Structure 1
């Protein structure tokens, strides 16, 4: 019988027409702590824009919002997938501390975010007793498209938590944890173990590990430009239409925006935001 536990050491496979494809964590795309810090310094909007410019699919997890004001998280994804409850699945799931959910807990630390794929937005993925272990592990955050119980206690635990909502529901009646560190879908967004997960008051974004450095480069450049435009509009109030909209990699040197950026030392020679200078 196929193991329900982690595929991190031995990736799960999908056989199609006698060809086998690895679907575990990304190879050659490990995100360093240093890059995590840089990604975490950016807004979720800038990161979404960066992936959009590159033509990647939707990156935001629409079903996860901050449990309390001021919460922000940034870390590498450890994933946990739930499936609808069924007696034989409940019987086959490893018991106690061997359960996939506790396996996932132990893989988390300050630079990891636990991403839990619920079977529905109102279903409980856990509460204070289970999540006490996440506090002890000092995890970087918890993200789910489901709901959480014991809200006040979870907030007191101090780690950032992003969920669809809160609930008094009893989770195991509806679903069972099935797999740790597989590729999951959360609100229609794919999450792969090791991806960067960044959350703030606007939501949660998934940055694929393999392109994280490029996404940072684009997003950081966009944020620099937006700060310059905002500063200019504060000094000289007026409609922002002369500067917007702009597309990273397509800013024209002779445009009003290009000329404004040049005054601040941003040119095609030192920025990938201009027409013909993109590196993606």
Structure 2
């Protein structure tokens, strides 16, 4: 009856109340912001059909990002569900070491399966898409790399040395990373499906910087909050 329905939904009300206390007005404003972003994308979609807008027009403030970073991932997943968002968790991404946590805005890299013409046409060296992405990163950024498979390498000590120099806030991938000990020594909070000794270029090539990607079953847009 009515009593049962009240008991069933009371935990959700308590969760919403708790998030509101932690985030202040930001928690109650989160759903409307997402809705406005949806309508904004629809309004410009006809003009940008080929690529679509890459980043949300609704910027996450430094204050809100800091508050979100204080929450557990479990609380964030539950809170987003209460607010009507689809699943936002990047499945399978595990930290390389205990105690790692990343907080920042997404910079994205998309890999595609290797082909001779892809390797030939892709810009090389410092203007390759992944290095282009590295230069966009800083302490308030998390680089999110969409692999073509969980066991394929997105990089290792040589490539990610630049991320250490840029003091990136974190690295997340649904693929694997190489040179685990060195990566831990770099101090970059790193979350990957696994580790590997394989080289990446034999299986895939970085193709796009800062586009909308699918990573671990979730959609990531540039400048999304990654916690």
Q: Same fold (TM over 0.5)?
A: yes
TM-score range, shorter chain: 0.7 to 0.9
The answer for the alignment partner of 2:159 in structure 1 is: 130
State how 1:4-19 maps to structure 2 within 5 Å: none
- Per the TM alignment, residue 188 of structure 1 is displaced from its structure 2 partner at its CA by 1.3
- Per the TM alignment, residue 23 of structure 1 is displaced from its structure 2 partner at its CA by 2.9
TM-score normalized with structure 1 length = 0.63
Alignment pair present for 1:96 and 2:125: yes
- Per the TM alignment, residue 19 of structure 1 is displaced from its structure 2 partner at its CA by 6.2
The answer for the alignment partner of 2:196 in structure 1 is: 167
Specify every segment of 5 or more residues in structure 1 that has no aligned partner in the other structure, as ranges.
1-14, 199-280
Alignment pair present for 1:193 and 2:222: yes
- Measured against aligned partners, the alpha-carbon deviations of 1:118-141 in whole angstroms (never above 9, x if no partner) come to 000000000000100000000000
Question: SS at the partner of 1:173?
Answer: coil
Q: Rg bigger for which structure?
A: 1
TM-score normalized with structure 2 length = 0.78
Question: SS at the partner of 1:60?
Answer: coil
Alignment pair present for 1:78 and 2:107: yes
The answer for the alignment partner of 2:205 in structure 1 is: 176
Of the candidates 61, 68, 75, which is equivalent to residue 32 of structure 1?
61
Q: Distance in 2 between matches of 1:63 and 1:190?
A: 14
The answer for the alignment partner of 2:74 in structure 1 is: 45
- Per the TM alignment, residue 60 of structure 1 is displaced from its structure 2 partner at its CA by 0.5
Larger helix fraction of residues: 2
- Measured against aligned partners, the alpha-carbon deviations of 1:79-110 in whole angstroms (never above 9, x if no partner) come to 00000000001000001000000000000000
Question: SS at the partner of 1:50?
Answer: helix
Q: Distance in 2 between matches of 1:71 and 1:158?
A: 9
- Per the TM alignment, residue 177 of structure 1 is displaced from its structure 2 partner at its CA by 0.2
The answer for the alignment partner of 1:112 in structure 2 is: 141
Q: Distance in 2 between matches of 1:186 and 1:63?
A: 10
Q: Distance in 1 between matches of 2:109 and 2:130?
A: 7
Q: Distance in 2 between matches of 1:187 and 1:160?
A: 17
Q: CA RMSD in A?
A: 1.4
Q: Distance in 2 between matches of 1:175 and 1:23?
A: 25
Q: Distance in 1 between matches of 2:53 and 2:219?
A: 12
